[in-house]
């Protein structure tokens, strides 16, 4: 029995589904780096296919019979769009770790990490703590659902095949700035307390006959840092969902 060639309508649907899988897979592959770096490949593939099947009917309605260009470049373009979106989400979600690294450096708790090129530790303890607090608040507020829904809504704001007309270069330059702004905003209250503590300690050490013991300044910095983070717990927990929502909405809406 000879195989029947695909009709143009079925061929268009196959290409459309391939483009959806390409964008969704790229988003999942890059956006899950900060939260789930060890996720197996098969899990990501299955999740990409499941989300693609979910969004396929909506994309078909939006396409409304409009033909898409059947070309490998179209699929590669969707991979590019998905990669940029996923990387943007990843950077914004990683702002908590950036904030923790800033605090670790300012407080002196990561000096060994900064100056030991062969150290096995890849991040300061305060950075890990900040990341867990931020991620816990993000998931508790349902932020992961908002990210999934927003990523799927990008097929509305940027239909399949229309990526050459999107301002992707603006996103590439703007998202790191948004992420750094989030990190500094989270770290600023504790940073001010730490800087004040270091200034006071420096003045005391210079004008008084005092020889602080080994690690005394670092210990004082740790106490001040933990106290300031406890006082500013609203920023690190309940306020994180609100702080992160606006940048994510801006990214997923391509509103630049």
- At residue 235, the pLDDT reads 66
Q: What is the mean pLDDT of residues 46-57?
A: 85
- By the 8 A CB rule, do 23 and 78 touch? yes
Query: What per-residue confidence (pLDDT) applies to 5?
Result: 62
Q: What is the pLDDT of residue 1?
A: 47
Q: What is the CA radius of gyration of the chain?
A: 24
How far the first Cα of the chain sits from its last, in Å, is: 55
Domain regions of the chain by residue span: 8-246
Q: 140 vs 127, 144, 252, CA distance in Å?
A: 20, 9, 21
> Does pLDDT of 127 surpass 70?
yes
Q: Report the C-alpha gap between 215 and 109 in whole angstroms.
A: 10
Percent of the chain with pLDDT over 90: 0
**Tens digit of pLDDT for each residue in 93-104?**
788 777 777 777
The arithmetic mean of pLDDT across residues 178-189, rounded, is 74
**Of the listed ranges 18-27, 88-97, 131-140, 204-213, the one predicted with least confidence:** 204-213
What integer pLDDT is reported at residue 197 of this predicted model?
74
In the prediction, which pLDDT does 221 show? 73
Report the mean per-residue pLDDT for the chain. Answer: 74
Buried b / exposed e over 190-215, threshold 16 CB at 10 Å, is bbebbeebbeebeeeeeeeeeeeeee
Q: How far is it between the farthest Cα atoms of the chain? A: 98
pLDDT, one tens digit per residue, over 67-92 is 666 677 888 888 888 888 888 888 88
Which one is predicted more confidently, 169 or 38? 38
Question: Helix crossing, 8-31 with 41-63: angle to 10°?
Answer: 130
Average pLDDT over residues 162-187: 70
pTM for the complete prediction? 0.70
Secondary structure (DSSP) of 139-203? HHTTHHHHHHHHHHHHHHHS-TT-GGGS-HHHHHHHHHHHHHHHHHHHHHHHHHHHHHHHHHHHH
**pLDDT at residue 114 in the model:** 52
The per-residue pLDDT for 129 is: 74
For 145-159, write each residue's pLDDT tens digit: 777 787 777 787 777
Length of the chain: 256
Position 256 scores a pLDDT of 47
Judged on CB neighbours under 10 Å (0-12, 13-18, 19+), 42 is exposed
């Amino acid at each position: 029995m000879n195989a029947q060639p695909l009709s143009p309508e079925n061929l268009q649907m196959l290409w459309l589904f391939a483009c959806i899988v390409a964008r969704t897979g790229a988003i999942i592959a890059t956006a899950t780096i900060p939260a789930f770096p060890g996720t197996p490949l098969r899990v990501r593939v299955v999740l990409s296919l499941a989300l693609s099947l979910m969004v396929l009917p909506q994309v078909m309605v939006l396409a409304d019979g409009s033909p898409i260009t059947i070309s490998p470049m179209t699929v590669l373009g969707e991979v590019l769009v998905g990669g940029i979106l996923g990387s943007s989400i990843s950077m914004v979600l990683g702002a908590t770790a950036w904030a923790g690294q800033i605090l670790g450096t300012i407080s002196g708790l990561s000096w060994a990490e900064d100056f030991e090129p062969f150290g096995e530790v890849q991040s300061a303890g305060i950075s890990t703590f900040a990341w867990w607090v931020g991620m816990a608040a993000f998931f508790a507020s349902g932020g992961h659902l908002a990210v999934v829904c927003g990523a799927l809504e990008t097929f509305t704001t940027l239909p399949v095949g229309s990526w050459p007309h999107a301002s992707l270069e603006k996103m590439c330059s703007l998202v790191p700035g948004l992420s750094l702004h989030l990190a500094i905003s989270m770290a600023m209250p504790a940073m001010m307390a730490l800087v004040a503590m270091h200034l006071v300690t420096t003045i005391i050490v210079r004008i008084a006959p005092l020889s602080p013991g080994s690690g005394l300044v670092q210990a004082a910095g740790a106490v001040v840092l933990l106290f300031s983070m406890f006082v500013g717990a609203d920023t690190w927990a309940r306020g994180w969902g609100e702080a992160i929502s606006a940048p994510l909405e801006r990214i997923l809406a391509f509103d630049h």
